[in-house]
Amino acid sequence: MTVTQEVQSELVEYLLRAQRERREVEKLTAKYPDLPIETAYEIQAQLIARMEADGERCIGLKLGLTSRAKQQMMGVHEAIYGYLTDGMLALEWEPLSCQRFIHPKAEPEIAFLMGEDLAGTAVTAEDVLRATRYVAPAIEIIDSRYENFRFTLPDVVADNCSSSAFLVGSKWVSPHEFDLALTGVVMSKNGVTQTTGSGAAVLGSPAAAMAWAVNKLGERGLGLKKGQIVLSGAITEAIAFEPGDVITVTVDGLGSVSFGCQA
């Protein structure tokens, strides 16, 4: 079945309703099994445009499938990206209501704050570090709208890469002060360690992952802007959480960030 502009608009509404009503829906490829990845990104862009029309403001980018293991699991050869809005930004000192999610999971990340614009198709990790003002520990909360958190690559891209919420720690550090690839990360739930990893899990280095994203955006004539926040990709697997849980991510040299979830 052809995915016309009219069909794309219908799919955007389909995903928006699922998000607003906090309910699982059937993945797009159940009906459109040949959905091209390029079309999925077009649907994603329309989804973000609708969210902005409703009053949200795009403030950055998030990367997904930056782990080689996850790419092999999904049968793909590159990462994906989605967008962050101010409506997704959560604060450490405010309890997070689980009622806003369907089946949320937390991932440990390193956030980049852009100090200048960056665009092109031949951008390197060194270029990224020069353009970055600060890095900080972060947690992304992913929450796919699809049934049982199951989807194909075009499905997740169209759904803005399961973007739902994120938190950034209060300690911002220059990226030149340490090697991001060697930075250790620990994620705990209720004081018990759940996952551990290092920055190298993200395409060899969070800066390398950032360079990939800029170059991918460059293919569409886009780029990163000064002041934007970018989540460079999950350093370990995601963990589920429920009301009453407290999730903490600690990053060597950057401190920690945490949130508590309530009903």
Q: Which residues contact 92 (CB under 8 A, 6 or more apart)?
A: 167, 169, 170, 257, 258, 259
- For residue range 185-205, what is the model confidence (pLDDT) as tens digits? 999 999 999 999 999 999 999
Q: In what order do the strands lie in the sheet with 96-97?
A: 96-97, 255-262, 246-251, 184-189, 192-198
pLDDT for res 102: 94
pLDDT at 178: 85
> What is the rounded distance in angstroms from the CA atom of residue 208 to the CA atom of residue 202?
8
CA torsion through residues 192, 68, 90, 147, sign? negative
pLDDT of residue 73: 62
Instruction: Kindly list the distances between the CA atom of residue 85 and the CA atoms of 51, 75, 81, 124, in Å, as whole numbers in the listed order.
Output: 9, 29, 14, 26
DSSP state of 95: P
Can you give the pLDDT at residue 252?
95
How are the residues of the chain apportioned to helix, strand and coil, as percentages rounded to the nearest 5?
Answer: 35, 30, 35
pLDDT for 1 = 65
Tokens encoding 140: 């992304």
**Computed from CA positions of residues 157, 217, 227, 67, in that sequence, does the dihedral angle turn out positive or negative?**
positive
Judging by DSSP bridges, how do beta strands 132-142 and 163-168 pair with one another?
A: antiparallel
Interior CA angle at 63 toward 255 and 97, to 5°?
65
Q: How far apart are the first and last CA of the chain?
A: 41
Going from the first residue of the chain to its last (263 residues), give the mean pLDDT of each consecutive group of 10, the final group possibly shorter. 89 94 95 94 96 96 84 74 97 92 95 98 97 97 93 94 96 92 96 96 94 95 97 94 96 96 91
Domains of the chain, residue spans: 5-262
Instruction: Note the pTM of the prediction, 2 decimals.
Output: 0.94
101-144 tens-digit pLDDT: 999 999 999 999 999 999 999 999 999 999 999 999 999 999 99
136, 110 contact by CB (below 8 A):
yes
- Cα–Cα distance for residue pair 187/248, rounded to 1 Å: 6
Q: Which CATH superfamily is domain 5-262 in?
A: Fumarylacetoacetase-like, C-terminal domain (3.90.850.10)
pLDDT of residue 210: 96
What is residue 168's three-state secondary structure? strand
Nearest-10 Cα torsion for 167, 134, 204, 250: -40
